[in-house]
Structure 1
Amino acid sequence: MNPALILIDYTYDFVAPDGKLTAGAPAQAIDENLAAAIGETIEAGGMVFVVNDLHLENDGSHPETALFPPHNLLGSPGRAVYGKTAEKLRAYQTLENRQVFYMDKFRYSAFAGTALDILLRQNHIQKLELAGVCTDICVLHTAISAYNLGYEVTVHKNRVASFNAEGHKWALEHFKSSLGFTVV
């Protein structure tokens, strides 16, 4: 089977100018690239996994509560996929389409506490492309999990973004030099 596209946290709260924890212009700049990647993946017979952060309001037990303002809250519009990327996903949302999967995550890594690894293995997928935000937080932690689980990973520089330019640059280098991933 073709590689899977793992789209991480490309939501209103992380991308929109008025998002609760926005990566701002860098995240908005990758919108068309992500929409194109979804189309390319689906048209090639691949699968897209949309994995989004989920938080509960006033959750004092979650470690992110002390680090970041409330974001991607259950039931909030901030959890919606952003922009042209959302439009492209809607174009493929039919009952017959078994190529797009949505799942919630409660930690940085898209693998932590989710069925992602099971679904990938069930569909004989070993090659992944990671895309979305933030390069140096959730994309990075997902990359490390993918490495530890033995997946072959590609990251396109124009399909990831962060609110931290230095962190973004560092993570891209880490993907290449420490994880051995392909960075395009």
Structure 2
Amino acid sequence: MTRHLVVITAGLGRPSSTRLLADRLTAATREQVAAQGATDDLDVQVVELRDLANEIAQNMVTGFPGPQLRAAIDATTGADALIAVTPVFTGSYSGLFKSFFDVIDKDALTGTPVLIAATGGTPRHSLVLEHAMRPLFTYLRAVVMPTAVYAATADWGTVPADGDAPLATRITRAATELTPYLTAPAPRPAPAETLTPFADQLAALAPQE
């Protein structure tokens, strides 16, 4: 059975460090899924919010999504797992990132596993993951991975002599936490309850002649 991983990236530039981080998280997740020997196919779809900016703004005003936004929303709400990455603006997630999740029904992501990540110019903004992103997805009742990944400009530098790059370590750990949701057997649907019509229940309580 094919599992669907949707990667949402809110980077504005091209190239974008936000997209780069998203790609590295995706690659690490693919590696971890392969390491588990999973036989299921993994389908990955990347949603670039930059390309949906106009339709997101129009939807905020009209309440109706355009065709590209509708497809992105359907992919996101139908995913088996999400990787969500935003740049940090003014100490929080970007307005484009928040607006996309604002146009999604608040119950549509209930139970969806989410790996959260962010990029910024300085390590001082790393707490955006805990004071902004994690509460957002908790409100949406998603299942947020314990490890969140933040990449500052300095994290893209050279690898230390011991080869243990902190960013690479966090990426691997986060991907490892997300992988079980993409490799575990799909839960079987609960058997349908057999309901006794109310009239029959009353009849059973009636005195027997």
Q: Could you say whether these structures have the same fold, taking a TM-score greater than 0.5 normalized by the shorter chain as the test?
A: no
Q: Mark the structure with the bigger radius of gyration.
A: 2
Higher relative contact order (CA 8 A, sep 6+): 1
Which of the two has greater helix per residue? Answer: 2
Scaled by the length of structure 2, the TM-score of the pair is 0.32
Scaled by the length of structure 1, the TM-score of the pair is 0.35
